[in-house]
Amino acid sequence: MTQPLLHPSVDVLEAHELRFVEAPPPQLSREHQQAQDRIWDEKARANPGLFDGPVVACAGLDRAGPHELVLHWTRVTYRHYALRWVPDADPLPSLFVDVLQPTDGGALLAGRMSPSTAAAGRWQLPGGSVEYPDGNDPLDTAGLRRNAARELAEEIGIDTDPDTLALWAITRGTIGNIGVHFLALPLPASLLRERFAAVVSSTTEAGSEPELDQIALVQSPADLDNLHGPHVDYLGPVVHRYAQTRS
């Protein structure tokens, strides 16, 4: 029998293999459904950039062996996460992917979310939520790699072959959100800055706001203290572990 994993704060979990099991969508009471819709509509009016698209939620995470994790997932939309503001509700955690993009000098690239996003001003690694596959297509690690590579291209302007992204770690955050982190091949810092500036310029010229409005290169958790604004809960532990593995 698999054993559930504990998460008193942020867990950084090593795994060589991820197995995915689909679970039924959550069933909401009439009261929770109404509260979810009311809060989502309020937030959407305040931030027109929000959209209620398809997204994967986590229904559980188990360790099946020393090097294997089993992720139970289900299909929801972004509206589901409005339940986080309903006191007696129990929303499912989210699933996201991101990329540890190193420089030749060993720093990691972090980005700050733009004002129009749901997490304005927050620092994180390039990445985003996972959309569930079409039809009967499986959710698997290869699909998460493609998702992560797409996020890196959209946010930073770096085109990466998904097959070169190595599964690096899985994190479980303070509210249970699951992150699947991939490590990319190192690139020159000057190239990263150049490609990001091009993304910002082209997006702005098109009349839109880029998803990230600033990037920084960090070598250690201490560098995070110099960033203006909050950062995601996993960023410190991930940067710390990356610095340890390099040394």
What one-character DSSP code corresponds to residue 202? H
Measured in residues, the chain has a length of 247
CA distance 96 to 140: 13
What one-character DSSP code corresponds to residue 188? -
Look up tokens 């007696």; give the residue.
Answer: 88
pLDDT tops 60 at residue 4: no
Q: At what angle do helices 189-205 and 141-156 cross, to 10 degrees?
A: 70
CA distance 151 to 30: 36
Q: In 6-136, which ranges are E strands?
A: 11-13, 17-22, 54-65, 68-77, 95-100, 108-113, 123-124, 127-129
Specify the fold of 3-246: Nucleoside Triphosphate Pyrophosphohydrolase (3.90.79)
pLDDT at res. 37: 96
CB 181 within 8 A of CB 169: yes
pLDDT at res. 65: 87
Domain map of the chain by residue range?
3-246
pLDDT tops 70 at residue 3: no
pLDDT tops 70 at residue 8: no
The mean per-residue pLDDT over the stretch 25-34 comes to 94
CA distance 88 to 31: 10
Predicted TM-score (pTM) of the model is: 0.92
The mean per-residue pLDDT over the stretch 145-159 comes to 96
pLDDT at res. 1: 32
pLDDT at res. 15: 87
pLDDT tops 90 at residue 61: yes
Q: In the chain, which ranges are E strands?
A: 3-4, 11-13, 17-22, 54-65, 68-77, 95-100, 108-113, 123-124, 127-129, 166-172, 178-183, 212-218
The mean per-residue pLDDT over the stretch 209-236 comes to 93
Half-sphere exposure of 94 (CA within 13 A, CB side): 16
